């Protein structure tokens, strides 16, 4: 039983969970800036559960879809349940929809206490998460994975958190969501950089495959540059948001690794560091916004 639980935890890919936590943290900080009649802070907790459940669901869906296609046969990186034969496709597919179900239950609660538009956003998140690698023509195989991550784990998750707390959408929450989205994309970018060889053989045309090794490394660095510039834009109206730039200093080490040509298993460590950077920036930017 313990071994099975460990496999499921590994399959959920906990190193990617900062992409689900960061937007809620930053979105809540942005909500604090707004003068609203009543902030529903309990909704921030519900939003966190929805975000985490969606991230896990997407990870399991990716595991299932890539596994049944045979994309994961020669993959270097975290354990893939279906590709490794550790779990059956049916079991992983079931886990995917359990995670989606958890997100749906808490998402419905958010919609009932705020706006039913939240329900529509939730439906879009479901379809986007499943068809990332699922279906006959998954857009993740067309190099559009980063678009999905930027939109849903950046813009939607961050601004959505602000909205469910106080029903406002602000310039600060939008700019901050761009920062979060860029860092979430960096997680996917380094993951896809590691998998270029295997994805090429499997005809999975990720953005990294399309850009090539050198271009994918430049793209990874560019994401941090854009995040830094956007933090400066937030600081135009909230000077202490520049704390986010201090947080970005933590990106120097993983950037050096990528620029110097890290490959294979070494990029697994870079993935961990990138997730850590995302949380550090999210916390430092949020603190900067709260004390402004």
Q: What domain range includes position 227? A: 2-290
First to last CA, the chain: 49
**DSSP codes joined into one string, 118-159:** HHHHHHHHHHHHHTTT-SSS-GGGGT-HHHHHHIIIIIIHHH
**CATH, residue 35:** 1.10.600
> For residue 190, which of 284, 73, 292, 275 has the smallest C-alpha distance?
275
Residues in the chain: 292
Among 14-18, 42-46, 225-229, 233-237, the least confident range:
14-18
Q: How many domains does the chain have?
A: 1
Confidence class for position 70, pLDDT limits 50, 70, 90? confident
pLDDT of residue 248: 97
Contact 143, 206 (CB under 8 A): yes
> For residue 141, which of 195, 91, 77 has the smallest C-alpha distance?
195
> For residue 180, which of 238, 248, 90, 249 has the smallest C-alpha distance?
248
Looking at residue 73, the DSSP 8-state letter turns out to be: T
Which tens digit of pLDDT belongs to each residue from 175-233? 999 999 999 999 999 999 999 988 998 888 999 999 999 999 999 999 999 999 999 99
Tell me the mean pLDDT in the region 163-175. Answer: 93
């Amino acid at each position: 039983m313990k071994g099975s639980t460990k496999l499921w935890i590994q399959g959920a890919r906990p190193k990617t969970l900062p992409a689900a936590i960061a937007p809620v943290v930053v979105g809540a900080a942005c909500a604090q800036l707004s003068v609203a009649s009543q902030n529903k802070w309990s909704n921030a907790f519900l939003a966190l559960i929805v975000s985490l459940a969606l991230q896990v669901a997407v990870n399991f869906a990716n595991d299932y879809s890539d596994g049944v296609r045979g994309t994961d046969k020669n993959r270097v990186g975290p354990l893939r349940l279906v590709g490794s034969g550790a779990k059956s496709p049916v079991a992983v597919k079931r886990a995917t929809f359990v995670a989606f179900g958890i997100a749906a239950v808490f998402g419905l609660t958010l919609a009932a206490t705020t706006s039913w538009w939240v329900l529509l956003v939730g439906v879009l998140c479901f379809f986007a998460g499943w068809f990332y690698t699922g279906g006959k023509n998954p857009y993740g195989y067309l190099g559009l994975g980063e678009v999905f991550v930027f939109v849903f784990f950046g813009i939607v998750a961050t601004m959505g958190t602000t909205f469910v707390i106080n029903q406002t959408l602000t310039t600060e929450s939008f700019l901050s969501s761009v920062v979060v989205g860029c860092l979430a994309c960096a997680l996917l970018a380094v993951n896809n950089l590691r998998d270029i060889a295997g994805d090429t053989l499997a005809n999975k045309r990720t953005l990294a495959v399309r850009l090539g090794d050198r271009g994918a490394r430049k793209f990874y660095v560019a994401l941090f540059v854009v995040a830094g510039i956007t933090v400066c834009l937030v600081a135009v109206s909230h000077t202490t948001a520049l704390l986010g730039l201090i947080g970005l200093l933590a990106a120097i080490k993983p950037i050096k690794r990528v620029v110097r040509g890290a490959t294979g298993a070494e990029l697994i460590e870079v993935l961990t560091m990138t997730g850590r950077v995302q949380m550090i920036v999210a916390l430092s930017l949020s603190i900067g916004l709260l004390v402004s």
